[in-house]
Amino acid sequence: MSEKITRYTVVGGAGAMGRITVRDLVETLPSRNVEIIIADHDINKASRLLNELNDPRLRAVRVNVKDQAEAQKILAGSFVLINAAQYTLNLDVMAIALAIPSHYIDLGGLFHVTRQQLEWDSRFKAIGKLALLGMGAAPGITNILSRHACDQLDTVSEIHLRVGSMDATRYRPQPVLALSYSLQTILEEFSFDPAVFTRGQFKFLTPMSGAVPHRFPEPIGLRYPMSTIHSEVATLPLSFQKQGVREVSFKIAFDPEFVDRVRFLRDLGMGSHEWVNLPEGGRAKPIDVIHQVAMSQPTPRQVGRIKQYEVVRAIVKGTRGRKKVTLIHDCHTSGKPQWGVGLDIDTGSPPSIVAQMLAKGEITECGALPAEIAVPPRLFFSYLRKRNMRIKTTEKSGWKFTT
């Protein structure tokens, strides 16, 4: 009798984040009874990654998730669908997971899509599967850091998430616009009104607003994180409502030169989803054009060692007993040079970790849930440590810590 094969499928597996997830699976899964599927609309890119990693457990397939019937045939038998494709395809991939059926994990839905996905909770409960919504660095690690802090408090008043990074690595040629993930998503983060939860209600701000100084641990130091639309704000107020949370915010600090260049593209209209007529006939959406051009830049060659660092931070204010307490939980990463992966490992590896936790029975929740509900923090952090990511905690009395 043949042993059962556990099939891990990464949709968008040849993309910027998907290839890191695939690499993590290759490096950390058992050598037997496992199959890793690189599922991508670009079979040439998927095949190149397959050849690059050269592992007998790997298989590459072409999949168009918009063709539901065909995609279900191709992906049938998957234990989990890890969705590393564009967030606008989240509901399409979720529908495939429901049909085949399998567990589902994604990297987030920029608030609005996440709220739609939460409505699928009963559907996934009915099939006894988990749809984990937002399991990268932010959302993902941010949510679990928040849960870890909230578990240590009696009441929670505020949750503030901050992300800061630096990259001193030398590249040749120097990229005109250095991108670690989809330019389309970045343009939308810079263009859509960011959500906050304030005074117990959801509110929307001006894009890229709120850039006040915030000091991250060295080597990052002082940065000016700004408000962008993110999925954490869609779920954390609901998850910790009973503990009394009234304020939830998310801000991220990009390199100032990068911000200026993306702002220029946005203000030029390249973030638009409106169709425009081309001079020689045909039509196109500006955001599709600039995304295709930017993501087709030649891959720069790293010169010397990786010099990158990122801190993903959760600042949680609440009470323990009668005392006001502020907990600052930071996830530090400088990459995994052995795998040729920089700080983006904190986005690409968490889906692999959670998929493996599901396979081991370490996560037993079902339904459409955010990470702070489904993932046990301490066990998850132990897996992060194996990938050179470290959790550091600071506790302060009172609520005066600057957010």
**140 near 107, Cβ under 8 Å?**
yes
**Do 166 and 229 fall into the same domain?**
yes
186 vs 49: CA distance, rounded Å: 24
**Do 118 and 162 fall into the same domain?**
no
Q: Which residues pair with 60 in a beta bridge?
A: 38
pLDDT of residue 1: 47
**Do 212 and 167 fall into the same domain?**
yes
Identify whether 173 is preceded by a cis peptide bond (ω within 30 of 0). yes
| Within-domain flag for 315 | yes
**262 near 270, Cβ under 8 Å?**
no
Residue 395 vs residues 159, 377, 387: alpha-carbon distances, Å: 14, 18, 25
**Do 191 and 324 fall into the same domain?**
yes
| Within-domain flag for 313 | yes
Instruction: Name 62's Cβ contacts closer than 8 Å, sequence gap at least 6.
Output: 39, 40, 41, 42, 43, 46, 74
In terms of residue numbers, what domain contains 248? 141-255+297-343+385-397
Is the pTM above the cut of 0.85? Answer: yes
| Within-domain flag for 237 | yes
**Do 107 and 233 fall into the same domain?**
no
The CATH number of whichever domain residue 89 belongs to comes to 3.40.50.720
| Within-domain flag for 55 | yes
**266 near 187, Cβ under 8 Å?**
yes
**Do 95 and 152 fall into the same domain?**
no
| Within-domain flag for 222 | yes
**Do 313 and 171 fall into the same domain?**
yes
**Do 77 and 181 fall into the same domain?**
no
Q: How far is CA 280 from its chain centroid?
A: 39
**AA letter at 309:** Y
200 vs 49: CA distance, rounded Å: 46
The CATH number of whichever domain residue 153 belongs to comes to 3.30.360.10
DSSP state of 140: B
| Within-domain flag for 276 | no
249 vs 251: CA distance, rounded Å: 7
141 vs 384: CA distance, rounded Å: 10
pLDDT in tens, the chain (403 residues): 457 899 999 999 999 999 999 999 999 999 899 999 999 999 999 999 999 999 999 999 999 999 999 999 999 999 999 999 999 999 999 999 999 999 999 999 999 999 999 999 999 999 999 999 999 999 999 999 999 999 999 999 999 999 999 988 887 887 788 777 788 889 999 999 999 999 999 999 999 999 999 999 999 999 999 999 999 999 999 999 999 999 999 999 988 888 899 999 999 999 898 999 988 888 999 998 998 888 777 777 777 787 899 999 999 999 999 999 999 999 999 999 899 899 999 999 999 999 999 999 999 999 999 999 999 999 999 999 999 999 999 999 999 998 8
What's the domain count of the chain? 2
Closest CA to 311 of 149, 162, 140: 162
**193 near 229, Cβ under 8 Å?**
yes
**236 near 245, Cβ under 8 Å?**
yes
**Do 312 and 323 fall into the same domain?**
yes
Radius of gyration of the chain (CA): 21
| Within-domain flag for 290 | no
Q: Which residue has the tokens 């950390």?
A: 28
**Do 115 and 194 fall into the same domain?**
no
**Do 187 and 249 fall into the same domain?**
yes
Query: Both tokens of residue 47?
Result: 């095949």
**Do 333 and 189 fall into the same domain?**
yes
